[in-house]
């Protein structure tokens, strides 16, 4: 009896203490750029998801290079494998490094609570891409050190063998090309990477490239992404048709991302929808598998507006300065140097965040074909995210596309129209409930 | 407990030896110490229990009344809104159908474990070897098992090649349709947990005194009779414990489907759904409510089961 009352009391006390959330923290701090590099000092910790670059010493090389300009700053790296999961929990404390990549889970409106501002958007957007992805009330809180452009990674040799010389310009044409690949070669025309899930989320990045509209994100926030003719519906319909026509791997449920890379390099897989960021990985896989890295090609989504292809520039993780950092100047110095001078974007064959920088060599085919690179207006990005979470659809998550693939290969019953219209209904209803 | 035994001891000495000199009453501090000793020993486990079990549960219950997203410093008290949402959205409970597969699997699992435990409790050749073989899967990390079985079920993987050896040419995606995926996953879970049930049963069977079998054999009982009238009633408490564990386990299946399919193709279980609500859609409040509901369901099932099968004392005499 006694023991029970004690326990109940302890539980009650814990319940009460649990209810008091963390208090509001300082808000609106700024990380100013230093005037004199030789005076900036301090030890800073940089949290990064690039465990590979920390392990092979590339990051150390960057730090050494950085120290030539900023001799008094000591940079330490904290490589985190499960970046999202771990940093999210660490952000409940004040100890989350000095410089970090902003986890996707953090809501935009909370940025000023967690990160120091880097300056006004009006100022920064003159020089940098992707500033509106982290802008709250006119101030910028993060900067992506590199960008990517979505596209189909394809094996040029296989496509040539199938007798295709030009990029398809409509989804129907693309489908015919995949059929030709299936008929004339031994390759799997398209690989879904269903089991690893995240490759399916890449399809959302089609948004903007069909309509060639830099307000594509705003249209997600205000309209129905699955309305007839909308970009996302076009993408999802095409994915459905590819799977429905049997142009994918035989058993999508046991795919393997790491194994898919050498397969594409060797021509066992013809196509995958990923992005320009994947080219360097595929080329690496090609070298390892003894195939020709030059066979890896990049092609835009098969849709044209007024005779030109469009592709959307996408930022990577945005780097930010911890608002609780004791060495904000040093942290800011690292962030700026890493963005402007490190050559990180070039090393990754990626799009530079500097507007003045030329397109990377990987994008040469895009440049030659006159593909228009769009910078999406992300003012409504936060609204899209909250509709997405609230409705549990997961437009940036794999689940609904897995259901779509299951539907297409008849593992589940139903029609495509019902499925997409259902998503649209859920989305617009949530939109209304959030708006009210 | 300690108090009563102490009193009984004092009484006994007082009654048995009235002439013997009374033992000097222990000084106050000493008695206090003696009373506190068990608690001192319990300090470490209790602290661990409170910090790692009760405190998180209390936190979870507290979160279930808020709209917290898991990271924002702001959280609002929303009353029972999360619970109302849970119970008005039927799609959140549909996933419990998946538990049916695991429930069916656990019936098979218990029967098989009982069978092997019975056989191996008698003198069988290579007895210890078989015990090891059966228990081994339980020792492997669940994540590793998930990955191993991914290869196992792969197109042209282990299962297909083994079946090929027997001349069965299968050409199917084992994880391809909801039915076959759930059946495959349930089979993996049998493989994994059979060992635990087996060891529990074996321990219980071996605690039955050996003379009983001898006596039964003299009376002309065969193996089946021995099982029916000696072993089965003898291990009844362990059997009912296993059933409770199986039911609550089936309701809260997580790691095997999460690693192998991530809940795709109709293999989503209630816990996977909860995890997704919390970490994918950032609805920590709603997910906490779901977790509380699952806890209550498991407690209710256990209670009902305890009512139906009361825990009698085993009496083999």
Residues B259-281 have a mean pLDDT of: 91
Model confidence pLDDT, tens digit, residues A267-279:
999 999 999 989 9
Model confidence pLDDT, tens digit, residues B200-225:
999 999 998 888 888 998 998 888 88
B54/A105 touch (CB, cutoff 8 Å), yes or no: no
Q: How many CB atoms lie within 10 A of CB B152?
A: 19
pLDDT at B18: 47
Residue A428, pLDDT above cutoff 80: yes
Q: Rounded distance, CA B97 to CA B178, Å?
A: 11
Residue A9, pLDDT above cutoff 50: no
Residues in chain B: 317
Question: For A93-107, B21-35, B207-221, which range has the lowest pLDDT when averaged over its residues?
Answer: B21-35
Q: How confident is the model at residue B90 (pLDDT cuts 50, 70, 90)?
A: confident
Residue B29, pLDDT above cutoff 90: no
Residue B17, pLDDT above cutoff 50: no
Model pTM?
0.84
Inform me whether the C-beta atom of residue B79 falls under 8 Å from chain A C-beta atoms. no
Which of the pair, B6 or A58, is modelled with greater confidence? A58
What is the edge-to-edge ordering of all strands in the sheet holding A152-155? A188-190, A269-273, A152-155, A296-299
B281/A389 touch (CB, cutoff 8 Å), yes or no: yes
Inform me whether the C-beta atom of residue B69 falls under 8 Å from chain A C-beta atoms. yes
A428: its two tokens: 């617009």
Q: Which of A7, A92, A402 sits opposite B71 (nearest CB)?
A: A92
Report the complex ipTM: 0.82
Residue A17, pLDDT above cutoff 60: no
Residues A43-53 have a mean pLDDT of: 92
pLDDT at B25: 63
Residues A130-136 have a mean pLDDT of: 91
Percent of chain B with pLDDT over 90: 47
Average pLDDT, whole number, for chain A?
89
Model confidence pLDDT, tens digit, residues B225-237:
888 888 988 898 8
**Min Cα separation B12/chain A (Å):** 27
Phi/psi for B14 (5° steps) reads -65, -40
Residue A19, pLDDT above cutoff 70: no
Residue A97, pLDDT above cutoff 70: yes
Which of the pair, B59 or A11, is modelled with greater confidence? B59
Q: How confident is the model at residue B21 (pLDDT cuts 50, 70, 90)?
A: low
Residues A133-157 have a mean pLDDT of: 93
pLDDT at A193: 92
B181/A253 touch (CB, cutoff 8 Å), yes or no: yes
Contacts of B172 (CB under 8 A, 6+ apart): B180
Residue B46, pLDDT above cutoff 60: yes
Which of the pair, B17 or B189, is modelled with greater confidence? B189
**Chain A stretch 14-73, residues whose beta carbon is closer than 8 A to a beta carbon of chain B:** 14-15, 18-19, 21-25
**Min Cα separation A106/chain B (Å):** 7
A156: its two tokens: 């040029």
Beta pairing class for A42-48 and A73-79: parallel
Q: How confident is the model at residue B31 (pLDDT cuts 50, 70, 90)?
A: confident
Question: For A172-176, A204-208, B69-73, B163-167, which range has the lowest pLDDT when averaged over its residues?
Answer: B69-73
Model confidence pLDDT, tens digit, residues A288-297:
999 999 999 9
pLDDT at A25: 45
Residues B62-70 have a mean pLDDT of: 91
Q: Tell me the range of A84-93, A396-405, B67-76 where mean pLDDT is highest.
A: A396-405
Residue A34, pLDDT above cutoff 90: no
Inform me whether the C-beta atom of residue A106 falls under 8 Å from chain B C-beta atoms. yes
Question: For A172-181, B51-60, B235-244, which range has the lowest pLDDT when averaged over its residues?
Answer: B235-244
For B54, which residue in chain A has the nearest alpha carbon? Answer: A11
Q: Which of B68, B178, B262 sits opposite A197 (nearest CB)?
A: B262
B55/A7 touch (CB, cutoff 8 Å), yes or no: no
Mutate to test the interface with B, among A15, A250, A254 (most CBs of B within 10 A): A254
B71/A394 touch (CB, cutoff 8 Å), yes or no: no
Residue B14, pLDDT above cutoff 60: no
Q: How confident is the model at residue B26 (pLDDT cuts 50, 70, 90)?
A: low
pLDDT at A16: 43
The separation between CA B305 and the C-alpha centre of its own chain, rounded to angstroms, equals 14
Model confidence pLDDT, tens digit, residues B288-297:
999 999 999 9
Which of the pair, A128 or A22, is modelled with greater confidence? A128
Residues A303-323 have a mean pLDDT of: 93
Residue A244, pLDDT above cutoff 60: yes
Q: How confident is the model at residue A22 (pLDDT cuts 50, 70, 90)?
A: very low
Model confidence pLDDT, tens digit, residues A327-381:
999 999 999 999 999 989 988 889 999 988 888 888 888 989 999 999 999 889 9
Model confidence pLDDT, tens digit, residues A366-395:
989 999 999 999 889 989 999 999 999 999
Model confidence pLDDT, tens digit, residues B92-141:
888 899 999 999 999 999 999 999 999 998 888 899 999 999 999 999 99
Q: Rounded distance, CA B212 to CA B229, Å?
A: 10
Residues A216-231 have a mean pLDDT of: 93
Three-state SS annotation for chain A: CHHHHHHHHHHHHHHHHHHCCCCCCCCCCECCCCCCHHHCCEEEEEEECCHHHHHCCHHHHHHHHHHHHCCCEEEEEEECCCHHHHHHHHCCCCCCCCEEECCCCCCHHHHHHHEEECEEHHHHCCCECCHHHCEECCEECCECCCEECCCEEEEHHHHHHCCCCCCCCCHHHHHHHHHHHHHHCCCEEECCCCCCCHHHHHHHHHCCCCCCCCCHHHHHHHCCCCCCCCHHHHHHHHHHHHHHCCCECCCHHHCCHHHHHHHHHHCCEEEEECCCHHHHHHHHHHHHHCCCHHHEEEECCCCEECCEEEEEEEECCCEEEECCCCCHHHHHHHHHHHHHCCCHHHHCCCECCECCCCCCHHHHHHHHCCCEEEECCCCCHHHHHHHHHHHCCCCCCCHHHHHHHHHHCCCCCCCHHHHHHHHHHHHHHHHHHHHC
Phi/psi for A5 (5° steps) reads -65, -40
**Chain A stretch 215-244, residues whose beta carbon is closer than 8 A to a beta carbon of chain B:** none
A392/B281 touch (CB, cutoff 8 Å), yes or no: yes
**Min Cα separation B174/chain A (Å):** 9
Q: Which of B63, B175, B282 sits opposite A389 (nearest CB)?
A: B282
B62/A18 touch (CB, cutoff 8 Å), yes or no: yes
pLDDT at B74: 80
CB A195 within 8 A of CB A248: no
pLDDT at B91: 87
pLDDT at B132: 92
Percent of chain B with pLDDT over 70: 90
pLDDT at A420: 96
pLDDT at A10: 46
pLDDT at A168: 95
Q: Which residues of A touch B97 (CB under 8 A)?
A: none
Q: How confident is the model at residue A89 (pLDDT cuts 50, 70, 90)?
A: confident
Residue B9: exposed, middle, or buried by beta-carbon count in 10 A (0-12, 13-18, 19+)? exposed
A282: its two tokens: 């595929």
Which of the pair, A2 or A140, is modelled with greater confidence? A140
Q: Which residues of A touch B73 (CB under 8 A)?
A: 21-25, 110, 113
B70/A24 touch (CB, cutoff 8 Å), yes or no: no
Which of the pair, A32 or B65, is modelled with greater confidence? B65
pLDDT at A364: 87
Q: Rounded distance, CA B260 to CA A258, Å?
A: 16
A250/B62 touch (CB, cutoff 8 Å), yes or no: no
Q: Rounded distance, CA B267 to CA A249, Å?
A: 21
Q: How confident is the model at residue A436 (pLDDT cuts 50, 70, 90)?
A: low
């Amino acid at each position: 009896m006694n023991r029970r009352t004690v326990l109940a009391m302890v539980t009650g006390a814990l319940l009460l203490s649990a209810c008091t959330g963390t208090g509001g923290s300082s808000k609106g701090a700024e990380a100013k750029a230093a005037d004199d590099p030789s005076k900036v000092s301090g030890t800073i910790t940089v949290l990064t998801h690039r465990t590979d670059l920390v392990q092979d010493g590339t990051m150390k090389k960057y730090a050494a290079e950085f120290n030539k300009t900023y001799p008094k700053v000591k940079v330490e790296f904290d490589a985190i494998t499960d970046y999202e999961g771990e940093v999210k929990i660490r952000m409940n404390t004040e100890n989350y490094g000095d410089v970090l990549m902003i986890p996707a889970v953090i809501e935009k409106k909370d940025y000023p609570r967690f990160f120091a501002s880097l300056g006004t958007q009006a100022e920064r957007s003159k020089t940098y891409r992707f500033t509106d992805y982290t802008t709250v009330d006119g101030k910028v809180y993060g900067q992506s050190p590199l960008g990517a452009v979505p596209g189909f990674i394809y094996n040029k040799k296989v496509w040539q063998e199938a007798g295709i010389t030009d990029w398809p310009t409509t989804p129907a044409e693309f489908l015919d090309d995949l059929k030709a690949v299936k008929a004339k070669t031994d390759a799997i025309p398209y690989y879904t990477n269903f089991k690893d899930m995240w490759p399916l989320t890449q399809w959302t990045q089609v948004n903007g490239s069909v309509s060639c509209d830099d307000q594509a994100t705003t249209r997600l926030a205000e309209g129905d992404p699955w309305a007839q003719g909308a970009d996302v519906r076009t993408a999802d319909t095409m994915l459905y048709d590819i799977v429905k026509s049997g142009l994918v791997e035989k058993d999508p449920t046991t795919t393997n991302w790491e194994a898919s890379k050498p397969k594409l390099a060797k021509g066992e897989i013809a196509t995958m929808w990923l992005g320009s960021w994947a080219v360097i990985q595929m080329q690496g896989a090609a070298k390892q598998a003894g195939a020709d890295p030059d066979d890896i090609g990049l092609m835009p989504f098969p849709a044209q507006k007024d005779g030109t292809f469009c592709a959307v520039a996408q930022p990577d993780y945005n780097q930010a300065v911890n608002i609780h950092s004791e060495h904000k100047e040093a942290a800011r110095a690292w962030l700026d140097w890493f963005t402007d001078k490190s050559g990180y974007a070039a090393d990754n064959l990626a799009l530079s965040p500097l507007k003045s920088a030329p397109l990377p060599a990987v994008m040469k085919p895009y440049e030659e074909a006159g593909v228009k690179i769009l910078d999406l207006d992300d003012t409504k990005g936060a609204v899209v995210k909250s509709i997405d979470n609230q409705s549990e659809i997961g437009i940036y998550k794999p689940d609904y596309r897995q259901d779509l693939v299951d539907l297409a290969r008849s593992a589940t019953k139903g029609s495509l129209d019902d499925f997409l219209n259902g998503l649209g209904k859920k989305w617009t209803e949530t939109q209304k409930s959030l708006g009210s | 407990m300690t108090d009563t035994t102490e009193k009984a001891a004092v009484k006994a000495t007082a009654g048995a030896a009235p002439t013997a000199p009374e033992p000097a009453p222990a000084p106050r501090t000493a008695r206090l110490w003696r009373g506190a000793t068990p608690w001192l020993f319990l300090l470490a486990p209790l602290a661990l229990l409170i910090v790692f079990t009760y405190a998180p549960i209390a936190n979870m219950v507290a979160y279930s009344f808020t709209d917290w997203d898991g990271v924002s410093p702001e959280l609002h008290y929303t009353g029972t809104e999360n619970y109302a949402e849970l119970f008005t959205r039927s799609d959140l409970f549909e996933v419990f159908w998946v538990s049916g597969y695991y429930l069916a699997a656990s019936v098979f699992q218990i029967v098989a474990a009982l069978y092997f435990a019975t056989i191996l409790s008698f003198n069988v050749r290579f007895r210890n070897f078989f015990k090891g073989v059966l228990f081994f899967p339980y020792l492997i990390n669940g994540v590793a098992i998930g990955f191993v079985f991914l290869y196992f079920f792969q197109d042209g993987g282990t299962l297909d090649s083994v079946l090929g050896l027997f001349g069965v040419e299968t050409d199917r995606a084992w994880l391809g349709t909801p039915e076959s995926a759930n059946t495959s996953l349930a089979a993996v879970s049998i493989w994994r947990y059979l060992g635990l049930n087996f060891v529990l049963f074996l321990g219980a069977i071996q605690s039955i005194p050996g003379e009983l079998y001898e006596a039964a054999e003299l009376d002309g009982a065969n193996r089946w009779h021995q099982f029916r009238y000696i072993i089965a009633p003898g291990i009844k408490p362990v059997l009912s414990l296993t059933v409770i564990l199986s039911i609550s386990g089936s309701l809260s299946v997580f790691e095997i489907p999460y690693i192998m399919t991530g809940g795709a193709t109709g293999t989503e279980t209630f816990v996977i759904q909860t995890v997704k609500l919390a970490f994918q859609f950032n609805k920590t409040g709603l997910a906490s409510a779901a977790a509380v509901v699952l806890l209550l369901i498991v407690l209710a099932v256990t209670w009902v089961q305890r009512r139906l099968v009361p825990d009698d004392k085993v009496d083999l005499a």
